[in-house]
Amino acid sequence: MLYHLLYPLHTDFIVFNVFRYITFRTIYAILTAFLISFLLGPWFIRKLAQMQVGQYVREDGPQTHLKKAGTPTMGGSLIITAIAAATLLWADLTNFFVWIALLVLIGFGLIGFADDYLMQVKKRSKGLSARGKLVLQTVLALLTGALVVMHPGFSTQVTLPFFKTVSPNLGWWYVLFAAFVIVGASNAVNLTDGLDGLAIGPVIIAAATYMIFAYVAGHVKIADYLQINYVAGSGEIAVFCGAMIGAGLGFLWFNAYPAQVFMGDVGSLSLGGSLGAVAVITKQEIVLALVGGLFVMEALSVIFQVGYFKMTHGKRIFRMAPLHHHFELKGWPEPKVIVRFWIIAIALALISMSTLKLR
Ligand code: 57M
């Protein structure tokens, strides 16, 4: 909005020229989103506590988690508000991809919200059914994929990291592929969200990586120099990613161990879905498995554990899945698991960024 209001003034006051630059607007989107979630955090947490939106903690999990019962959850609503507000303030609102990112953020947020609301406010023990959630996620992700594919000039080729000449063209199958990326990312972040700051840290790291990818993919000269897919208009997604970073940092202030608030499904599903959407828009889809490698590790630990458990009628590979519980049960203190997982996420993000050059 500020771009539309203030940039036109540059003909009279040259200083307003800065609103043209994606880099400038991205920095201020980070700061704006941070301030919104940081400043509104205490009030929001008090409201959640008053509404008794307190976490129920399963008794079959690690015993150290029992003391977390009653921690306010659904903090993701504040993250979404901060991201949406900062994006609306700083992005170019005539940009199609900005609205796609907001659609996924808010749409997946509403699915998570419905689940949390049924569970926390209506005290229905299970919330939405797993199948119901998956159907809603898939429908929304398919719609997103179709909208993107119909956008003039959007390529249905898939970028393979490390291979600059191989990029298979999926045609209309790209819609299915995009939906898989978005739904997969959404659920993988959800599974990771089981220790204080464990999900939001790597979400911030992944958003920072995609902020760079978006800038590069949307810049015709840099994209050409690096020989990556140029996606006209995707540069504005850097502003959205910036808003994710800022909102995430503000939330982490309160979600840091020992957490005063959890993000809930409203946060994990929407943040994961948004990362998936951003990966699709910037045409760095496959590398998301590396950028978000930590989320993939957590999801694979569940798939292998559940598969093995069923095959062997009760035997386990890990002490407990998702993977973070395994290390907790091995006796690692919670902050150690969290920080070590963040370190892995940073290393994976750096390797992912190197794929821009290693091709
Ligand atoms: C959500 N939710 C947390 C909080 C957060 C298929 C199966 C593996 C699914 C999996 C599952 O349900 N995962 C998705 C994980 C929960 O956190 C809430 O959920 C929101 C995210 N959706 O925002 O609102 C608990 O996580 C802890 N937490 C923190 N700090 C945070 O910042 O400490 C969350 C955020 C919170 C709190 O304790 O209550 C969760 O873990 O429930 N299921 C599991 O993860 C279960 N695993 C399991 O059953 N494994 C089995 C195999 C055979 C399937 C096994 O390995 O034996 C575990 N979860 C729990 N207890 N709580 C194990 C049992």
What are the structural domain ranges in the chain?
A: 2-354
Q: What is the residue-averaged pLDDT of the chain?
A: 95
Q: Atom 26 of ligand 1 has which residue's CA nearest to it?
A: 194
Q: How confident is the model at residue 56 (pLDDT cuts 50, 70, 90)?
A: confident
Q: Atom 3 of ligand 1 has which residue's CA nearest to it?
A: 194
117 DSSP assignment:
I
120 DSSP assignment:
I
Q: Ligand 1 in contact with 253 (CB < 6 A)? A: no
* pLDDT given at position 232: 94
Element (H, E) at 301: helix 293-311
Largest CA distance in the chain: 75
* pLDDT given at position 168: 92
Q: Atom 27 of ligand 1 has which residue's CA nearest to it?
A: 194
Mean pLDDT for the stretch of residues 70-76 = 94
Mean pLDDT for the stretch of residues 277-305 = 97
pTM comes to 0.96
Q: How confident is the model at residue 265 (pLDDT cuts 50, 70, 90)?
A: very high
Residue 264 neighbours by CB distance under 10 Å = 29
* pLDDT given at position 125: 64
Per-residue pLDDT tens digits for 94-152: 999 999 999 999 999 999 999 999 988 776 667 789 999 999 999 999 999 999 999 99
Q: Ligand 1 in contact with 61 (CB < 6 A)? A: yes
Cα within 13 Å of Cα(345), Cβ side: 26
Q: Ligand 1 in contact with 256 (CB < 6 A)? A: no
Q: Which residues contact 238 (CB under 8 A, 6 or more apart)?
A: 22, 23, 26, 211, 212, 214, 215, 218
Measure 191 CA to ligand 1 centroid, in angstroms. 7
* pLDDT given at position 81: 98
* pLDDT given at position 124: 67
Q: How confident is the model at residue 38 (pLDDT cuts 50, 70, 90)?
A: very high
Tell me the two tokens of residue 226: 């690096």
Cα within 13 Å of Cα(319), Cβ side: 12
Cα within 13 Å of Cα(275), Cβ side: 34
Are the C-beta atoms of residues 157 and 173 closer than 8 Å to each other? no
Name the 3-class secondary structure at 334.
helix
Q: How confident is the model at residue 245 (pLDDT cuts 50, 70, 90)?
A: very high
Q: Which residues contact 201 (CB under 8 A, 6 or more apart)?
A: 252, 338, 341, 342, 345
Evaluate if residue 302 carries a pLDDT over 90: yes
Identify the CA nearest to 133 among candidates 181, 190, 178, 78: 190
218 DSSP assignment:
T
| Residue labelled with tokens 């993988």 | 188
Per-residue pLDDT tens digits for 162-215: 887 888 999 999 999 999 999 999 999 999 999 999 999 999 999 999 999 999
Are the C-beta atoms of residues 280 and 338 closer than 8 Å to each other? no
